[in-house]
Amino acid sequence: MSMEVDVLPEGATDAEIEQLADKVEGIAGEMSMFHQTHGFYIDGVDLSTCILPAGWRERLVEVRNANTAAPGTNGLMFTGLCLDKEDLCVAKLCALREKDMNFVRALLDAGIVDAEVIAGRLRTVENGRVARRAQEWLRSTTNGKAASMLPGFQASSRVSNRRPID
């Protein structure tokens, strides 16, 4: 289990997002008082540090439950917006670090994510070189079983509204 949580703050512009990510990391980053107190740290990221498929914002998953309650506020709960599981896999495969490949492989092996959905979303990544490298890894890992990796496949638009997780 990782002690790190990546957070992409909301902002009106890329520059604002980058500034907010720096602030988050300064307050709750590695070796901070937050890290020492809670046992994990927050890594502020911006859109230049991750590659995401088209439409990822429409597929964000809301997380709001007792674990998101603010201490001492009589039940005030915060809502976290998390990447859809296949969008997370796209980002991990575009980074293509060993730990990310292991993570995606484990999700695939457990049947938690759909290789065809991942492959379809990889086709929407703007950086074609990175997407092709990720598709090659996915093809070799799934033995080419995902139909969307075949020439001419048109990915379906499995776009849904935000889904709450309790």
User: Nearest-CA neighbor of 19 among 50, 54, 51, 48?
Assistant: 48
- Mean pLDDT of all residues in 121-133: 94
- Mean pLDDT of all residues in 152-161: 40
pLDDT above 60 (res 37): yes
| 87-91, 96-100, 140-144, 156-160: the lowest-pLDDT one | 156-160
pTM for this predicted structure: 0.78
pLDDT above 90 (res 114): yes
Give the chain's largest Cα–Cα span. 56
| 57-61, 80-84, 104-108, 157-161: the lowest-pLDDT one | 157-161
Q: Which residues in 9-141 belong to E strands, given as ranges?
A: 41-44, 61-63, 80-82
Residue 62 contacts by C-beta under 8 Å, 6 or more apart in sequence? 79, 80, 81, 82, 162, 163, 164, 165
Q: pLDDT-based confidence at 1, cuts 50/70/90?
A: low
pLDDT above 50 (res 103): yes
Q: Which residues in the chain belong to E strands, given as ranges?
A: 4-7, 41-44, 61-63, 80-82, 164-165
- Per-residue model confidence (pLDDT) at position 129: 93
Mean residue pLDDT across the chain: 85
pLDDT above 80 (res 2): no
pLDDT above 80 (res 161): no
